[in-house]
Chains A and B, each alone.
Chain A
């Protein structure tokens, strides 16, 4: 049974489908280097043509992340950013005029500590459309799926090249979109993806009517273009976080801040297919 929603993320995917193009989904770590800058970066990304934004919640033990996002998490945690402040950042971005759908990327433990009931109440109140929890496989996510459905929030599952016969079960109760992991490994730029990535995407497509996006390791305009042809969305994470890391010295100087932000905007803008 499909639940009808007026979720901002679902609406975006429908519109893009009608326009015949794939969503560009940048990722950023909230609070890297600080929350105020995050708000400015969100605005730059929107101006650069992002379609959906993935907001990463910094975590002390990010198992699914490579060194670039680990470092970003450490920087953000030094500023005492937590799950609640990440949600507040989303709401502030909305209040500042952002029209983008926001997806929260968070490890499970912070959610568990907040409590599932307050967590879902806060998500709705903070205008967040979707959730990605990289360490919550389908076996452990039953209650989360039920609550997501009730709240009309997309719980986006990860499907890996090693998922094989698990794909059917994973996509069955999914909502929002399906996130295909491009390669074996953690997040981080890479020059090649696993052999058979096209077949893998095709097999995921056959098993679901939901939009299918791809991520993990996609860092260049060429790679985005390659996958935009066969997916409904392309996530770029570490490459953007690395760009943020590069321009932090600029962002920290009031006279160079605008130039630093412009570099981020240009980087995201040139990724667009």
Chain B
């Protein structure tokens, strides 16, 4: 298989670097620093130390026996990224980028956040490393996720509400990039997903591949073989690419990315970028995109703030086009049912994002046999979502 991305940051035709000239040298410097330090064993050791001692890795690969029995014959495992410090896989990447920032001599970090998970992860690591941290968050999201705003402030970060556009994740990303353009000389942008201009999609993937690397080791130990199917939720796609990437060359392992269908892919209220999007340039890279005929980016909709994004990482678009991975939509209602199912069968309340992946396995269950081994990436815990779930349930009851 061809190594991606190439020197221009292209995954096939996707990816690249579509940003204002002011940022180009910063991105080139970032790429050079990343390549230099990732070849340095001490750099990797420092990250590994924090992943283990600070975040609590490795995370368990848990055999969900009751869920498996309930759904039929297949064996279903959960990769417990929800057990990380701060409650989601986002910390894997935040630790990696913050250590890189430190090596580069930067003392200020910025981040964008939707639901607040990446913002909390970045604020956490900034506190740990004594860095100044600003988090850009859509005004709408600061209301929906007030608790995470407070959490970031407790951690010493400044939360900047973004009032442009739809006031959600995509606008927070735009504003973080704009701020970076103005402060590029002393500020490191900790981008939270496998999106944005090169080298971010490659770098974030490499910081998240620990998910798949551990899973591979763990499933070989538990089952003596590789899984048949990997399932992960895709917004920007960082937990999914982290899970998929170490298995890309194992053709027998099927990979399914699950995107948010919101109120349904035939309504205007979804975030099904792969199912309904077309190729376009958004926030620095070429990928699938929800847009109108004139190239204006459309607003996405999902009950899950982490999936509520009109773009998707370029490597996912590439995996889709070469037919190595499959991408399917799951609605708000299906995700919610799956969340309740996992809660009552296993005593685990998953994040709404991760509930989309579980819902897809519920859907697949009738086609699976007792010989099938399925791994779901449980990317985050659901504590942050209980208010949204309550609001949704009450709204649906009216």
Query: How many Å lie between the Cα of A75 and that of B284 in the bound state?
Result: 24
A36 at the B interface (CB under 8 A):
no
Q: Is the CB of B181 within 8 A of A185?
A: yes
In the complex, what residues of B have CB within 8 A of residue A83's CB? 294-295
Interface string of B164-184 (1 = CB under 8 A from A): 110000100010011001111
Q: How far is the CA of A67 from the CA of B20 in the complex (A)?
A: 16
Q: Mark A90-134, 1 if CB is under 8 A from B, else 0.
A: 000000000000000001111111100000000000000000001
B281 A112 Cβ-Cβ under 8 A? yes
| Segment at the interface with B among A25-33, A153-161, A228-236 | A153-161
Contact of A64 with B17 at beta-carbon distance under 8 Å, contacts A82-B294, A139-B8 already known? no
Size of chain B's interface in residues, with CB distance under 8 A?
A: 38
Give the segment of A11-19, A162-170, A205-213, A247-255 that binds chain B.
A162-170
Contact digits for B13-26, partner A, Cβ 8 Å, 1 yes 0 no: 00011111111111
Give CA–CA (A135, B106) in the complex, Å.
25
B12 at the interface (CB under 8 A from A): no
A136: interface (CB < 8 Å): yes
Which residues of A are found within 8 Å of B185, using beta-carbon distances?
162, 184
CA distance A66 to B20 in the complex (A): 13
Residues of B within 8 A of A157 (CB): 21
In the complex, what distance in Å separates the CA atom of A74 from the CA atom of B177? 19
Q: How far is the CA of A38 from the CA of B396 in the complex (A)?
A: 46
Q: Which of A64, A110, A139 contacts B181 (CB 8 A)?
A: A64
Q: Whole-angstrom distance between the alpha carbons of A66 and B178 in the complex?
A: 8
A60 touches B296 (CB 8 A): yes
* Cβ A137 vs Cβ B24 within 8 A: yes
The reply to whether B295 and A114 contact each other, CB–CB distance below 8 Å, is yes
Contact B18 A135 (CB under 8 A): yes
| Cβ-defined partner of A110 (8 Å) among B8, B24, B283, B296 | B296
Q: Does A84 contact B (CB under 8 A)?
A: yes
Closest CB in chain B relative to A194 CB, distance in Å: 10
Within 8 Å by CB of B182, from A110, A158, A185, lies A185
**Given A113-B291, A139-B8, A162-B184: A82 in contact with B296 (beta carbons within 8 A):** yes
Closest to A66 in B: B178
Identity of the chain A residue whose Cβ is nearest the Cβ of B299 in the assembled complex: A60
- CB-based contact B181/A186 at 8 Å: yes
Instruction: Specify the chain A residue showing the minimal Cβ separation from B16.
Output: A140
Residues of B near A137 (CB, < 8 A) are 17-21, 24
Q: How far is the CA of A82 from the CA of B291 in the complex (A)?
A: 13
User: Is the beta-carbon distance between B294 and A63 smaller than 8 angstroms?
Assistant: no
Q: Are B17 and A109 in contact (CB under 8 A)?
A: no
Identify the closest chain B residue to A216 (Cβ).
B22
Cβ-defined contact, A159 with B21, below 8 A? yes
Min CB–CB distance A70 → chain B (angstroms) = 5
Q: With A and B bound together, what is the CA distance between A166 and B19 in angstroms? A: 15
Place the interface of chain A in its size category. 35 or more
Q: How far is the CA of A137 from the CA of B16 in the complex (A)?
A: 10
Report the bound CA distance from A63 to B282 in whole Å: 10
Q: Name the CB-closest residue of B to A162.
A: B25
Beyond A77-B296, A110-B296, A139-B8, is A170–B174 a contact (Cβ under 8 Å)? Answer: no
A64–B296 contact, CB under 8 A?
A: no
The closest CB in chain A to the CB of B178 belongs to A186
| Most B C-beta atoms less than 10 A away, residue of A109, A158, A164 | A109
Query: Do B16 and A162 touch across chains, with their CB atoms under 8 A apart?
Result: no
Q: How far is the CA of A159 from the CA of B174 in the complex (A)?
A: 21
A177 interface residue per 8 A CB criterion: no
Residues from chain A with a CB closer than 8 A to the CB of B278 are 113
Which residues of B are found within 8 Å of A59, using beta-carbon distances? 295-296
Q: Is A181 an interface residue (CB 8 A)?
A: yes
Given A61-B165, A113-B294, A186-B182, A166:B174 Cβ within 8 A: no
Chain A, range 49-75, C-beta contacts under 8 Å to B: 59-64, 66-67, 70, 74
Known: A134-B20, A164-B25. A110 touches B183 (CB 8 A): no
Residues from 6 to 45 in B contacting A, C-beta threshold 8 Å: 8, 16-26
B323 within 8 A of A: no
Given the complex of chains A and B, what is the CA–CA distance between A109 and B177 in angstroms? 17
Across the interface, name the chain B residue whose C-beta is closest to A159: B21
Q: Which residues of chain A have C-beta atoms less than 8 A from B280's C-beta? A: 109, 112-113
Q: Does B297 contact A (CB under 8 A)?
A: yes
Distance A4 CA – B205 CA, assembled complex (angstroms): 47
Asked if B293 is at the interface of the complex by the 8 Å CB criterion, the answer is yes
Residues of A within 8 A of B283 (CB): 61, 63
Q: Which residues of B contact A70 (CB under 8 A)?
A: 164-165
Q: How far is the CB of B149 from chain A (nearest CB, A)?
A: 22
Which of chain A's residues has its CB closest to B289's CB?
A109
- Return chain B residues, CB-CB under 8 Å to A67: 164
A127 to B18 Cα, complex, angstroms = 27
Give B164 Cβ to nearest chain A Cβ, in Å.
5
* A184, closest chain B residue (CB): B182
The residues of B that contact A170 with a CB separation of less than 8 Å are 21
Known A-B contacts A135-B281, A162-B26; the reply to A63 vs B183 at CB < 8 A is no
- Cα separation A113 to B296 with both chains bound (whole Å): 9
Flag B181-210 by CB within 8 Å of A: 1 or 0 each.
111110000000000000000000000000
The residues of A that contact B177 with a CB separation of less than 8 Å are 63
- A107 CA to B283 CA in the complex, in Å? 11
Name 12 interchain pairs, CB-CB below 8 A, sorted by A: A60-B296, A61-B170, A67-B164, A77-B296, A82-B296, A109-B280, A113-B278, A113-B291, A134-B21, A160-B20, A163-B24, A186-B20
Besides A137-B17, A184-B184, 8 other A-B contacts (C-beta < 8 A) = A64-B20, A82-B296, A109-B280, A113-B293, A137-B24, A158-B20, A160-B24, A162-B25
Chain A interface residues (CB < 8 Å from chain B)? 59-64, 66-67, 70, 74, 77, 82-84, 107-114, 134-137, 139-140, 157-164, 166, 170, 181, 184-186
Closest 6 CB pairs of A and B: A113-B295, A185-B182, A82-B294, A110-B295, A160-B22, A109-B295
